[in-house]
Structure 1
Amino acid sequence: MNWKERILLILLAALNFTHILDFMIMMPLGNYLMPYFDLSPKQFTILVSAYTISAAVSGFGAAFFVDRFDRKKVLLYAYVGFLIGTISCGLAPTYITLLLARLFAGLFGGLIGAQVLSIVADSFPYERRGTAMGMIMSAFALASTLGVPFALYLANLVSWHAPFLLVGILGIALVPLLMRYLPPMTGHLHVDHSTRPSKWSVITNVIADPYQYWALIFSGLIMFGHFLIIPFINPYMEFNVGFSKNITPLIYLVGGVSAFFASNILGRLSDSYGKVPIFMICTFSALPMVLVITNLPHLQDYIPGLSFWGFPVQSYIPVLMLFGLWFSVATGRGVTSSAMITSVVNPEQRGGFQSFNSSLQQLGSGLAALTSGFMVSKDPVSGKLLHYDWVGYLSIVTLLLCIYLGYKNFNHLEKPKVVAVSK
């Protein structure tokens, strides 16, 4: 990998860091926002899903025109709009204004992920794409390791507004670097205009190609299965398991460190041994972890606390180890599935397809948040969350379906090419 490729990936990873941090921080803030605005679990998940549903709508609309523009310009315009929405979240005084700000941020945020993946796919061949995707996905790990714990620290120190303002400040500092060092991405535009497909071809191409529409369904289901359990991790850990607000950031710290190393290691392994095998190993490994996470009891009732400087180490270490493993395999699943999905479309159609893909991913995560919100309830006496285990069972069923679709739709990519030998 040359230095230009490294700069490209570092900039995209930094952009992804702020974008993912904004998305991730809303869910851990559940045990701050629910008492602050006196929200029910359903109202909180509406707040979470507002961004994703809005992003799904904008991603779908962008699919019809995004391949006709420089990907760099589309990315920059989308990122600036996203930052305006995020800063507005940090200034929101009421539940309604926060909801409206999340909707606005989602309209622009829905364009970002598709452009990042399209730029990576345009810049790296399939044989090296796993490594590149691993570096991009490491932004998720850094957001978990550094961003979320620090943002929660700010929420404890100042208020829940502070994390959104932090993302806005980091994004404003990044914009000039993106403008200066991100190269124009116009290779997909260098085609004969007389043969360029119509804007509606993005739909007809998907409908006509089974690999494309199954890839989109696969992508949406992965997000649905993963994000079913995400919104209530922090509230469940506090209200049911016994973690305090000062301890819950350690989940994201340990998980993020694990995911950072896993994203790069598993990305390289997927280039060497195949995306589909690594995807299946990661997804199968996640199933028992989901079962345990969504059925955790109050640990002090089962594991006596061993105090170390006032910290009940023995009770929490097993849970932190569990989350470290789960973050690792979930990241590996994301790295390999992203590389697999980008392989089913040609470069000149990739931007529109990835916009569809981003839309389906946002829709999947938004529907997952809403579904979990309607399944989970709150005990009015103890304040504990009820039926979180039901969410885990649904997540496991969904991920099993993803394993089947992943093997069926992408396994042909792993088969070695047969080279004809002339006699």
Structure 2
Amino acid sequence: MAAQPSAPSPAPVRGNPRLPLLALGAAAFGIGTTEFVIMGLLPQVAGDLHVTIPQAGLLVTGYALSVTFGSPFLAVATARMDRRRALLVLMGVFILGNLMCALAPSYWLLMGARVLTALCHGAFFGLGAVVASALVLPGRKAQAIAMMFAGLTLANVLGVPAGTALGEAMGWRSPFFVVVGIGIAAALALAAFLPRTIEVPPMNLKREAKSLGSPQVMFAMAMSIVSSASLFSVFTYITPILQNVTGISTQGVTMMLLLFGVGLTCGNFLGGWLADWRLMPSVIGIIAVIIPLLASFALTSHAVVPAALTLFVWGVLAFALIAPLQSRVVSEAAKAPNLASTLNQGAFNFGNAIGAWAGGLALTAGLPYADLPFMGATIATAGLALAIASYALDLKTQREASADAAPAAGRP
């Protein structure tokens, strides 16, 4: 199990935490929708703003890079605010950014609006994870984080398909107007249900920076990067894999992606439960199963039913890692969790970018689509090595603590 932080965990707030967690989940739903819905609208955006589709694709890259490198600065900018007010300010940035996206008259103004919107992404999820864990008893912290991240998984299952359909029917700007409405509703829910006092350590930049130097925090962020890289080295190219290798239609791809999204949602809650049970053994076990599963996808991708089953299980396992890794960072940086939690969101997005780049590089070098899952499995092997090393350090720390405690216990 994870080594316990030296400082006691903050006491949970009084009252039922379900409503504030649902409010955090609603905000996560809006943020997830605005991040991914653009992918289904690229041809419309390109045509309306007179750019090429690859140029429109940079709107996705710009968003991810803004999450990775910009969110920590927004987290620092809100450092002196109480955590409730900081979350509301971040939602304000989110609402403004999406309104600018909906009204942007040119490509570069849309890019700027996307970058602005992304600034609140990592900061909100990072701070939201800290707040969610403070709302509940110690044995349910990862499940609380998973409840918030459920909004992100539901965005993939419901928000993105609905937003894409709306964009096709009423123009690409319409989904952004709807997301503005979702953001306003989420902000009102946060204002109504978040406790006035949340026992979270205030951000102290010196203490926060020191927490980042913890070996276990660095291990957790490295695992976040590698797990995301493993996922996106394959998933970025899942449509051509399904069309060219599995041989299914465009409509069939949509159904397969919906099945994958359902798997993500199931995995999110499974990961929260496993992390509260046994965090690091669960992480090790999940990655150990992902490796052969991805390798087998090179074979199962040649037939519809085996491919569908593999995609569903892969979705479950891939997102079962999110809550444990986020919870690990919050736990190991317990004295100063705010910046570390935000940076871990950047780590996930950095892994997304690395995985997509690595997969594209392999395909350009001539690797067949059918063999791309082997790359994902290889990257996941590196993640397994990191997880085992982190757990071994946990066990070493526990043995040393027990050895130090034994002589003290024997003293009269």
Aligned mate of 1:284, from 284, 288, 292: 288
Deviation at 1:401, TM superposition (A): 1.4
Tell me, in whole angstroms, the C-alpha distance in 2 between the residues paired with 1:52 and 1:366: 7
Tell me, in whole angstroms, the C-alpha distance in 2 between the residues paired with 1:62 and 1:153: 33
Structure-1 residue corresponding to 2:260: 255
Deviation at 1:346, TM superposition (A): 2.1
Tell me, in whole angstroms, the C-alpha distance in 1 between the residues paired with 2:159 and 2:220: 31
Tell me, in whole angstroms, the C-alpha distance in 1 between the residues paired with 2:134 and 2:385: 28
Look up the SS of the partner of 1:248 in the other structure: helix
1:15-39 Cα shifts (integer Å, max 9, x gaps): 1111122223334556766788674
Tell me, in whole angstroms, the C-alpha distance in 1 between the residues paired with 2:112 and 2:359: 22
The aligned amino acid for 1:327 is G
The aligned amino acid for 1:364 is G
**Where does the alignment leave 5 or more consecutive residues of structure 1 unmatched?**
191-195, 304-314, 379-384
Write 1 or 2 for the structure with the bigger share of helix: 2
Aligned mate of 1:211, from 193, 216, 222: 216
1:37-94 Cα shifts (integer Å, max 9, x gaps): 67465x4653322111112222232454544321121111112212222233344455
Aligned mate of 2:114, from 88, 102, 118: 102
1:254-311 Cα shifts (integer Å, max 9, x gaps): 2233333333234223323x112222222222234434657886x6xxx6xxxxxxxx
**Alpha carbons of structure 1 residues 165 and 122: separation in structure 2 relative to 1, 3 Å:** same
1:113-124 equivalences under 5 Å are: 113-124=125-136
**Alpha carbons of structure 1 residues 287 and 45: separation in structure 2 relative to 1, 3 Å:** farther
- Which has the larger displacement, 127-136 or 7-16? 127-136
Are 1:168 and 2:149 an aligned pair?
A: no
Tell me, in whole angstroms, the C-alpha distance in 1 between the residues paired with 2:34 and 2:295: 27
- Which has the larger displacement, 113-122 or 132-141? 132-141
Tell me, in whole angstroms, the C-alpha distance in 2 between the residues paired with 1:334 and 1:55: 16
The aligned amino acid for 1:342 is V
Tell me, in whole angstroms, the C-alpha distance in 1 between the residues paired with 2:237 and 2:134: 37
Tell me, in whole angstroms, the C-alpha distance in 2 between the residues paired with 1:110 and 1:322: 30
Structure-2 residue corresponding to 1:83: 95
1:118-267 equivalences under 5 Å are: 118-124=130-136, 126-188=138-200, 199-207=205-213, 209-234=214-239, 236-238=241-243, 241-267=246-272
Aligned mate of 1:319, from 297, 301, 307: 307
Aligned mate of 1:330, from 314, 318, 323: 318
The aligned amino acid for 1:113 is F
Tell me, in whole angstroms, the C-alpha distance in 1 between the residues paired with 2:157 and 2:348: 23
**Alpha carbons of structure 1 residues 319 and 405: separation in structure 2 relative to 1, 3 Å:** same
Structure-1 residue corresponding to 2:5: none
1:192-220 Cα shifts (integer Å, max 9, x gaps): xxxx95x344334423x222223333323
Tell me, in whole angstroms, the C-alpha distance in 2 between the residues paired with 1:39 and 1:375: 24
**Alpha carbons of structure 1 residues 236 and 45: separation in structure 2 relative to 1, 3 Å:** farther
**Alpha carbons of structure 1 residues 66 and 400: separation in structure 2 relative to 1, 3 Å:** farther
**Where does the alignment leave 5 or more consecutive residues of structure 2 unmatched?**
1-11
Tell me, in whole angstroms, the C-alpha distance in 1 between the residues paired with 2:172 and 2:133: 36
**Alpha carbons of structure 1 residues 258 and 219: separation in structure 2 relative to 1, 3 Å:** closer
Look up the SS of the partner of 1:79 in the other structure: helix
TM-score, normalization by structure 2: 0.80
**Identity of counterpart residues, as a percentage?**
20
Structure-2 residue corresponding to 1:399: 380
| Contact 1:286/1:329, CA 8 A, preserved across alignment | yes
Deviation at 1:114, TM superposition (A): 0.8
| Contact 1:67/1:188, CA 8 A, preserved across alignment | no
Structure-2 residue corresponding to 1:408: 389
Deviation at 1:175, TM superposition (A): 1.5
**Alpha carbons of structure 1 residues 171 and 235: separation in structure 2 relative to 1, 3 Å:** farther
| Contact 1:66/1:351, CA 8 A, preserved across alignment | no
1:236-258 Cα shifts (integer Å, max 9, x gaps): 54566554444433234322333
Structure-2 residue corresponding to 1:382: none
| Contact 1:16/1:136, CA 8 A, preserved across alignment | yes
Deviation at 1:178, TM superposition (A): 1.2
The aligned amino acid for 1:135 is M
Tell me, in whole angstroms, the C-alpha distance in 2 between the residues paired with 1:393 and 1:32: 34
Structure-2 residue corresponding to 1:353: 340
TM-score, normalization by structure 1: 0.78
| Contact 2:72/2:123, CA 8 A, preserved across alignment | no
Aligned mate of 1:270, from 266, 275, 280: 275
| Contact 2:126/2:338, CA 8 A, preserved across alignment | yes
The aligned amino acid for 1:8 is P
Deviation at 1:116, TM superposition (A): 0.9
Tell me, in whole angstroms, the C-alpha distance in 1 between the residues paired with 2:59 and 2:371: 21
| Contact 2:21/2:148, CA 8 A, preserved across alignment | yes
Tell me, in whole angstroms, the C-alpha distance in 2 between the residues paired with 1:295 and 1:159: 40
Tell me, in whole angstroms, the C-alpha distance in 2 between the residues paired with 1:70 and 1:350: 14
Deviation at 1:344, TM superposition (A): 0.7
The aligned amino acid for 1:319 is A
Structure-2 residue corresponding to 1:193: none
The aligned amino acid for 2:340 is F
